[in-house]
Amino acid sequence: MGVRICSALAIAAMLVAAAAGGADDGASDKVLKSTSDHAKFKVLQQEFASGPEVTRACLTCHTEAARQLQLTQHWKWEFLNPDGRRLGKKSIINNFCTSVASNYAYCTTCHIGYGWKDDRFDFSVQENVDCLICHDTTGNYRKAPGFAGHVVTQETEFPPGSGNRLKPVKLGPIAQEVARTSRDNCGACHFFGGGGDGVKHGDLDSSLASPDKSLDVHMDALGNNFACATCHMTAGHQVPGSRYAPTAVDRGGARLRGKEYKTNPTTCQSCHGQAPHKAGAAKLNDHTDKVACQTCHIPAYARGGVPTKMSWDWSTAGLMGLDGKPMVRKDAKGRVVYTAAKGTFVIAENVVPEYVWFNGRVTYTLLGDRIEKGAQPTRINHFEGSAGDNRSMIWPVKVFRGKQAYDPLYKSLVVTHMAGTDDTAFWTNFNWEKAVAVGMASVGAPFSGKVDFVETESMWPITHMVAPAKDALRCHDCHASGARLEKVAGIYIPGRGSDHSVWLEVIGWALAALALAGALVHGTGRIAAARRRH
């Protein structure tokens, strides 16, 4: 008996030692991560002259990779809305830098491809897919604006004659270190949407490259350390969870291994299910039918120290300083709030979201849609939903407000030629009429020749920067008058004064006051009567 226990212990000890030995050895760590050490591939042991050359090398093993990529929104910048309208970066006009069209060489710096410099880009060429932008692990892979997504491999002066020299990127060492995507890869574009760090989304900025727990409980670099793809579970390079195809309501449960799911895997519910709160806080589970998880668990966005843009007024652009150079203004903290090229910004940190009913449908105002300059801002996009449609949840959103160029005669948003070294680009010439004329011509749209400015707003779902439970909203953040959900209509929120029936309040308190007054008068009468008798 004793011997048997001893030998069992000995075997167990050996097993533990074996397992520990495997983990102790640094080389084994690498071995266990991937079956391939790309540094050992002959095809990558060369100096590449261009991005497409690297891609050709990648494709020698990953034969179907480019074809997979070419099916994606990342490649096409195109999305067919359920309402039949053609969306995507390629065609929409937003209220940040407004449009990709006529500015390809600059905007496509963030395209996962090489050479999209105008609307004649060939989307079928496999070597034009950029593998490195998503799989670089060195941090040395950079694409400079103005090169249509091409990587600079030789020292280049840009813009020509400016004296500004771009350093070459050595592609060989980068190609030999490729691996799965990380927050840095996705962040290289998605943290900087709208023209700078944190500008566009508010819940995505460079602070998420290495966040602590309080900034994002899932991406916490020292804790859960989620990559973007942990939630945006990608298969065959198809990345789910685009804001163009949002899932506002997920009634499904937590996912099980071995089961197949057709729905969006990026939702909170896909891991946490419908009743994630513990028994002690079970009432919170009663909220999951109407309130998106994000509403309580993302108390504020732009929480990582990087401000986000809240509004952008293009109409003030073009001012020159006393020195005759384009003017720049900064706030007390040294952050830019005006540039001649872009106009006036309002930036903010720790922003409390606005809250709207959202059923997953988003409508857009596209080029050519008739718009009116009036009391209501033009909706660049708008989240649809209401309390009554039974398909909506209360969602936190960033509403980005702007004032941007439009055609006051044809009453349409406009494509503006912003970036370029030519003599019509707005950012070099500060002439709206010229820039819009070129922009509109580039897409074959009619332009009256007049430019005016119209107020616009766009909505962005707030879904990243999930705080730890202890920092989630408290009951009174919504269950009170003038609280976060004050403007959310169509639902009775206990504690919210605007839901009270005025007549019941008046009658109810009057009744209580009458009872009290009656008691006081009656009691005073009794005291007076008693005094008289004695």
- The tokens of 272 are what? 């946490």
Contact indicator for 86, 93 with CB cutoff of 8 Å: no
Give the CA distances from residue 516 to residues 307, 506, 521, 529, in Å, rounded to whole numbers and listed in that order. Answer: 55, 15, 9, 20
* Cβ at position 469, least distance to another protein in Å: 14
Task: Quickly tell me which residue has 């903290």 as its tokens.
Answer: 333
The C-alpha atoms of residue 437 and residue 441 are separated, in whole angstroms, by 6
The CA dihedral of 488, 494, 498, 503, to the nearest 10 degrees, is: 150
278 near another protein, rule: CB under 8 A: no
Label the pairing between strands 165-166 and 156-157: antiparallel
The C-alpha atoms of residue 343 and residue 195 are separated, in whole angstroms, by 13
Mask for 150-179, x = binds another protein (CB under 8 A): ------------------------------
Q: What are phi and psi of 413, to 5 degrees?
A: -65, 165
* Cβ at position 475, least distance to another protein in Å: 4
**Segment interacting with another protein (CB under 8 A) among 3-11, 233-241, 418-426, 468-476:** 468-476
511 near another protein, rule: CB under 8 A: yes
Give the CA distances from residue 405 to residues 149, 236, 273, 505, in Å, rounded to whole numbers and listed in that order. Answer: 27, 40, 45, 49
524 near another protein, rule: CB under 8 A: no
243 near another protein, rule: CB under 8 A: no
| Residues in region 367-396 near another protein by CB under 8 A | 390
Q: Which is nearer to another protein, 170 or 290 (CB)?
A: 290
* Cβ at position 509, least distance to another protein in Å: 7
Read off the DSSP letter of residue 201.
-
522 near another protein, rule: CB under 8 A: yes
Nearest alpha-carbon partner for 414 in 5, 46, 94, 19 = 94
Q: Which is nearer to another protein, 433 or 499 (CB)?
A: 499
495 near another protein, rule: CB under 8 A: yes
The C-alpha atoms of residue 190 and residue 464 are separated, in whole angstroms, by 12
Q: Which is nearer to another protein, 173 or 523 (CB)?
A: 523
Q: Which is nearer to another protein, 202 or 299 (CB)?
A: 299
Kindly give the interhelix angle for 26-33 and 2-24, rounded to the nearest 10 degrees. Answer: 80
Contact indicator for 76, 88 with CB cutoff of 8 Å: yes
The C-alpha atoms of residue 258 and residue 76 are separated, in whole angstroms, by 32
The C-alpha atoms of residue 314 and residue 409 are separated, in whole angstroms, by 19
* Cβ at position 478, least distance to another protein in Å: 9
Contacts of 16 (CB under 8 A, 6+ apart): none
62 near another protein, rule: CB under 8 A: no
Q: Which is nearer to another protein, 124 or 501 (CB)?
A: 501
516 near another protein, rule: CB under 8 A: yes
489 near another protein, rule: CB under 8 A: no
- Backbone dihedral region of 495: left (phi > 0), alpha (psi from -120 to 50 degrees) or beta? left
Read off the DSSP letter of residue 469.
G
* Cβ at position 470, least distance to another protein in Å: 14
481 near another protein, rule: CB under 8 A: yes
Q: Which of 40, 289, 398, 420 binds another protein (CB under 8 A)?
A: 289
**Segment interacting with another protein (CB under 8 A) among 158-166, 228-236, 257-265, 474-482:** 474-482
Q: Which of 251, 283, 325, 487 binds another protein (CB under 8 A)?
A: 283
Q: Which of 14, 15, 320, 512 binds another protein (CB under 8 A)?
A: 512
* Cβ at position 532, least distance to another protein in Å: 9
509 near another protein, rule: CB under 8 A: yes
Total Cβ atoms within 10 A of residue 503? 8
Q: Which of 27, 494, 502, 531 binds another protein (CB under 8 A)?
A: 494
506 near another protein, rule: CB under 8 A: no
Contact indicator for 436, 451 with CB cutoff of 8 Å: yes
The per-residue DSSP string of 365-422 comes to --TT-----SSSPEESEEE---GGGSS-EEEEEEEEEEEEEEETTTTEE-----S-SS
| Strand spans (E) along 76-189 | 79-80, 86-87, 156-157, 165-166
Residues in binding contact with another protein, number by CB under 8 A: 37
525 near another protein, rule: CB under 8 A: yes
Q: Which of 37, 83, 286, 331 binds another protein (CB under 8 A)?
A: 286
* Cβ at position 268, least distance to another protein in Å: 19
Contact indicator for 192, 97 with CB cutoff of 8 Å: no
492 near another protein, rule: CB under 8 A: yes
508 near another protein, rule: CB under 8 A: yes
**Segment interacting with another protein (CB under 8 A) among 144-152, 185-193, 208-216, 523-531:** 523-531
**Segment interacting with another protein (CB under 8 A) among 153-161, 168-176, 222-230, 518-526:** 518-526
Q: Which is nearer to another protein, 357 or 460 (CB)?
A: 357
Residues that bind another protein (CB under 8 A): 283, 286, 289, 390, 474-476, 479-481, 491-492, 494-497, 499-501, 504, 507-509, 511-512, 514-516, 518-519, 522-523, 525-526, 529-530, 533
